[in-house]
Amino acid sequence: MTTEPSPDPDAPTGLLDRARQDYRDLAARGLSLDLTRGKPAPEQLDLSADLLDLPAGRHTAADGTDVRNYGGLQGLPELREIFAEALQVPVEQLLALGNSSLELMHDCLVHALLGMVPGAESRWVDQERIAFLCPVPGYDRHFALCERFGIEMIPVPMTPDGPDMDVVERLVAENAAVKGIWCVPKYSNPDGACYSDGTVARLAAMATAAPDFRIFWDNAYAVHHLTDEPAEIADLLAACAANGNPDRAFVFGSSSKITMAGAGVAFFGSSPANVRWLLAHNAKRSIGPDKVNQLRHALFLRDADGVRAHMDRQRAVLQPKFEAVQRVLETELGGTGLAAWTRPKGGYFVTLEVPDGCAKEVVRRAAEAGIVLTPAGATHPYGDDPRDATIRIAPSYPGLADLEQAMLGLTTCVRLVGYEKRPA
């Protein structure tokens, strides 16, 4: 997070007047712009256009499986091989499943509630209280799953190295009701943080009061780099196994933001016991995943290098947008003391911090001027950001010109609300 210095207390007045005038001009333009969800832009989806013509009459997987038929609960081996490296899961412990990793996280929660995870002494649903640690800011859909299933959420502050591990270690050690933690370990949603090796080591080794504690390791942005320095994170599954906690990690990933969002392939990786557990539940739920889509993806991406080359093409579309966001923030808010923001090296989001008590009002004023932002508070459990300071910016979907307009409008709203609250 870049913190801008506070303004000179003797600075000339009139900053609020200027912000008010800029806001009036902004509102008069009748914009209709959307910075809410981290969706790929059409140009990004176009990069995978060939998928629409695949598997081009083929219907046989490398092992001879007829992909048109039922079966193959583990998913196609050739596709699992392509993603094993990026997700840091041995191919025999990696499943290729449906079209959404969020769906897999949902299912794992349901199966843990209704059927015992390996190592559990009872079903989660039979316990009086179940809680998950939620690093904040975090991903609103993780929090929505907890709310849906009555799982209490305990916020844990994020640091540039991942969640504050002193807090995590204390909470998991003292309370057996704490059954899990949400983690987006690489280019985290929304602050772009990457978990340090030390954080991964501590997560793998820490003592937990719950014998059935699980790390929901949502590696959604494993290959989504925006610079020439791709982030590497430590191998959580291997670290858990090395520390005698082989069943601790559930690894999730998908090709949603690699190929086509909503028409990609989702992956689950874990210990052999956890993989058997999920497969046993999946066998009741489905007669097999969509192997035609899996074959299509294997033919299109070819191998891990194919994924890298494809992500370079994604980066060429995304990087100018992320640079534009930084440029506007620096030009318009740098030195005002009104904002701090992240400079992510990958992923899909930028986090903007405004003065305490201002985020909701900034989002409201932006909406009134035709710029829709993710609701303030969405980055925190129960939609409650206690400081009311965090705004998530999703630069991917709008075109560059619209994005710049939306960012200029947003910064106008930050100046307006910031100076109204703290007169210049």
Range 329-348, binding ligand PLP (CB under 6 A): none
The residue among 118, 311, 339 whose CA lies nearest residue 227 is 311
**72 phi, psi to nearest 5 deg:** 70, 55
- Cα–Cα separations (whole angstroms), residue 34 to 45, 339, 341, 361: 18, 21, 19, 17
Cross-sheet strand order for the sheet of 266-269:
94-96, 266-269, 249-254, 214-218, 178-183, 131-136, 152-159, 162-163
The answer to whether residue 379 forms part of the interface with ligand PLP (CB under 6 A) is no
Structure tokens at 139: 């991903």
CB closer to ligand PLP, 258 vs 333: 258
Q: Which of 74, 189, 293, 294 binds ligand PLP (CB under 6 A)?
A: 189
139 near ligand PLP (CB under 6 A): yes
Which window, 84-92, 171-179, 254-262, 413-421, contacts ligand PLP (CB under 6 A)? 254-262
**Applying CB under 6 A, does 231 fall inside the site for ligand PLP?**
no
Instruction: Tell me if 294 contacts ligand PLP by CB under 6 A.
Output: no
Q: CB of residue 379 vs ligand PLP: minimum separation in angstroms?
A: 12
266 binds ligand PLP (CB under 6 A): yes
**Is 184 a binder of ligand PLP (CB under 6 A)?**
yes
| Contact call for residues 240 and 246 (beta carbons, < 8 A) | yes
Residue with tokens 């299109």: 300
Determine if 208 is a binding residue for ligand PLP (CB under 6 A).
Answer: no
Q: Which residues in 404-416 are b (16+ Cβ under 10 Å) and which e? A: bbbbbbbbbbbbb
Q: How many residues does the chain have?
A: 424
256 contributes a contact to ligand PLP by CB under 6 A: yes
Interface with ligand PLP by CB under 6 A: which range of 82-90, 98-106, 303-311, 403-411? 98-106
354: amino acid identity, one letter: V
Q: Using CB under 6 A, which of the segments 10-18, 204-212, 237-245, 253-261 binds ligand PLP? A: 253-261
For position 218 contacting ligand PLP by CB under 6 A, the verdict is: yes
At position 8, the amino acid (one-letter code) is: D
Cβ distance to ligand PLP smaller for residue 100 or 293: 100
State whether the Cα torsion 184-358-374-414 is positive or negative.
negative
Q: Is 182 in the site for ligand PLP (CB under 6 A)?
A: no
Spatial separation of the C-alpha atoms in residues 363 and 374, rounded to whole Å: 8
Q: Which stretch binds ligand PLP (CB under 6 A): 11-19, 99-107, 281-289, 303-311?
A: 99-107
Tell me whether residue 237 or residue 266 sits nearer to ligand PLP (CB atom): 266
Does the protein bind ligand PLP through residue 314 (CB under 6 A)? Answer: no
DSSP 8-state assignment for residue 335 = T
55-63, 100-108, 144-152, 197-205 -> range binding ligand PLP (CB under 6 A)? 100-108
Q: Are 33 and 412 in contact (CB under 8 A)?
A: no
Query: Which residues are near ligand PLP by CB under 6 A?
Result: 38, 100-102, 139, 184, 189, 218, 220, 254, 256, 261, 266
